[in-house]
Amino acid sequence: MIVRIAQYPLKKRLLYGIASTAGVLLAQQVLASIAHGRLTFLLISASLPLITVLFGAWSGALLLTTGVAYGALWLQPIGSFAVDEQPDRIVLLAFTVVGGLLIAAGQQLAKVARRAGRAEAATRDAADRLLQVERDARHRFDVALDSAGVPFFIVTPVVRERHIAELRWDFLNEAAMQLFNPAAGVVIGSSTAYVRPTGWDTDLLLDRLAPLAERDGRDAFDVRVQGDDGEQWFHVVAASLEGSVVAWFGNITPRVRAEQALSEADRRKDEFLATLAHELRNPLAPIRQVAEILEQPGLTDQRTKWCITVLRRQSAAMALLLDDLLDVSRITRGALTLRKETVALREVLDDAVEIARPLLEAKAHEIVVELPPRPLHIQADRLRVAQVLGNLLTNAAKYTPPGGYIELTATADDAEIVLSVADNGIGIESDKLSAIFLMFSQVNPDHHREGGLGIGLALSKSLMELHGGRLTASSAGKDRGSCFSIHLPAQCRVVPAPVPTRDAPAIAASVGKRRILVVDDNVDAADALTALLELEGHEVRTVYSGEEAIGILTHFSPEVILLDLGLPGMSGIDVAQCIRATPATKDVTMIAITGWGQPQDRERTAKAGFDFHFTKPVDVAQLSQAIESAVAAT
């Protein structure tokens, strides 16, 4: 107790010293009153060690002196410092000697108290430092595990009847917590039987981890999880830890999927090589046979012509196979370059139909081509777009029973241009739609075999992506037809540049009579153009401002509008946008007539919805071709 008090601050020690001294003096005063002062002063010696320990030897000496004086006053004669009786003198001397010894003992005790206090303080500081070190180590451990990004957990077994009945979550880092459903609530302390990562199996955790809690060791295994994001795979590495189990587990789904993809690619490669051998043998067989026929004597001219036809047809088939292979190789190496040009969409569709026409006619298919109501020009590689459309038409012909129906349509809006090939053929099952654009993929390699290497759709998809577009497929199911669509961005749409001026402009006699509206604030220019168009047989109306143009559309429905851009008040761009925004006139063919002919001017007219852009003075032959194109598109 004294050692503990000695470590208190000075104020606290002073309070304890005053209190203890006051208590001793009070007790002494009581005894002195009862015993008439005889020897009661000796009671003061009881506080000497305490006072010495608390305040040092000088305080003990002061208290001892006070005690001697106090005793002298209460010994005979009372009230005087003189001590007459020999026994009293002996008692007083004994008190002094004993008091001195008590003061010396108090000094030693003070030293012991200080050493004990320093030892206790050092022990307490060491304990505090150890606790802080432990906290820092735990914090670093938590930070390291959380920042690793790899799920980590510790589980402790719950034993019932000498058997591990379940496991309890004792620790999880942040990466592991992300795998739990937020609705799971508190995870730490919960049983794995009730709270576990989404999609994980309870029995698997218990069966694989419980043995590690009973004996030292480690284990590694893969876990397949069917979660909200589909099938996922985790690789778990677990080890024993003093009756618990620690485990790391990493998401190996990308690796597993890559391995599956490699396996699938290897399988498709083998199928491709077998198909390639088959497809090359098909034309080689008749070529070899024709070569033998040509060696026969007495060959008629008719038979020779037939042999030549067969050789040309079969060599063309081989050339197509090789072209597809070379195109795929170029795209893979990034060596394929598009040759973009401004081309009428109608011409691209015509080229595609010509590519597929032999197969379409051979199987007696009905093909319907639907074009937009307005002429449409795109900036694209004409050969490649026609090649893709031709491939889609050929596939539709292959997988549609004889006498089927195939529709080729083209639509355009502000977002994109869509070219679609739809048929009423064998269709595509929903689980195969995602795989048909893979290299060497066959829609159905066992039925409806029509030849091909399985690279046509993959090649077509890559070609469209080079154009900044995409290729999509849809089907209602088996035997319910399919639809393949090319989606080109709206930026592909352009206003065509004028064709070279003819040496001798002539009025096209083949152009039928059309309703035309001429809008120009230059009266002479407008009237002259009107007269020229009327000579060609067209029905023409003429206005000289944008407001008049909008007004006349309420009672006159033109098929073609020739519009000047630099109109006073409402500009030609404003008029064009208003016309396109009106349902009744949104499909009318608009031709810009302007003095502005820079590329940025053509971009402005294309965005405003113009179909053609001509600079003044307008070439009559070019204008007639534009009107003829517009007529053909309606």
pLDDT tens digits for range 156-194: 888 877 778 778 878 877 777 777 766 555 777 777 777
Residues 329-375 have pLDDT tens digits of 666 666 677 788 888 888 899 888 888 888 888 889 999 999 888 88
CA-CA distance, 475 to 483, in Å (whole number)? 6
Whole-number pLDDT of residue 504: 40
Residue 223: per-residue pLDDT: 81
User: Do 341-492 and 149-251 fall under one CATH topology?
Assistant: no
What's the angle, vertex CA 408, arms to CA 402 and CA 414, rounded to 5? 160
**What is the architecture of the domain spanning 341-492?**
2-Layer Sandwich (3.30)
- Residues 6+ away with beta carbon under 8 Å from 239: 212, 217, 218, 219, 245, 246, 247
> What is the per-residue pLDDT for 562?
94
Predicted pLDDT of residue 407: 93
Name the helix (H) or strand (E) containing 412: strand 405-412
Phi, then psi, of 472 in degrees rounded to 5: -125, 160
User: How many percent of the chain have pLDDT more than 90?
Assistant: 12
CA-to-CA distance for 83 and 49, rounded, in angstroms? 26
pLDDT of 575 reads 93
- The three state secondary structure string of 487-537 is EEEHHHECCCCCCCCCCCCCCCCCCCCCEEEEECCCHHHHHHHHHHHHHCC
Q: Distance between CA atoms of 153 and 145, rounded to whole angstroms?
A: 10
Closest CA to 271 of 435, 42, 512: 435
Write the secondary structure of 57-121 as one string of H (helix), E (strand) and C (coil): HHHHHHHHHHHHHHHHHHCCCCCCCCCCCHHHHHHHHHHHHHHHHHHHHHHHHHHHHHHHHHHHH
Give 202's Cβ-side CA count (13 Å radius). Answer: 10
Q: Assign residue 79 a region: left if phi > 0, alpha if psi is -120 to 50, beta otherwise?
A: left
pLDDT at 450: 53
What is the reported pTM? 0.51
pLDDT tens readout for residues 217-254: 888 888 887 766 678 888 888 888 877 888 878 788 88
Query: Residue 506's pLDDT is what?
Result: 46
The domain made up of 149-251 has a fold known as Beta-Lactamase (3.30.450)
> Which regions of the chain are under pLDDT 70?
1-8, 13, 16-17, 20-21, 23-48, 50, 73-75, 81, 141-142, 144-149, 181-185, 202, 227-229, 268, 271-280, 282, 317, 320, 324, 327-335, 439-454, 497-512, 630-634
Q: Which fold has domain 515-633?
A: Rossmann fold (3.40.50)
**C-alpha distances out from residue 125 to 1, 135, 138, Å:** 21, 15, 19
What is the structure's pLDDT at 1? Answer: 54
What's the CATH fold of domain 256-333? Helix Hairpins (1.10.287)
pLDDT for residue 222 = 83
Cα Rg for the chain, rounded, in angstroms? 52
Decide if 95 contacts 42 (C-beta within 8 A): yes
Helix intervals (H) in 242-297: 253-294
555 three-state secondary structure: coil
Domain boundaries, the chain: 2-121, 149-251, 256-333, 341-492, 515-633
pLDDT at position 2: 55
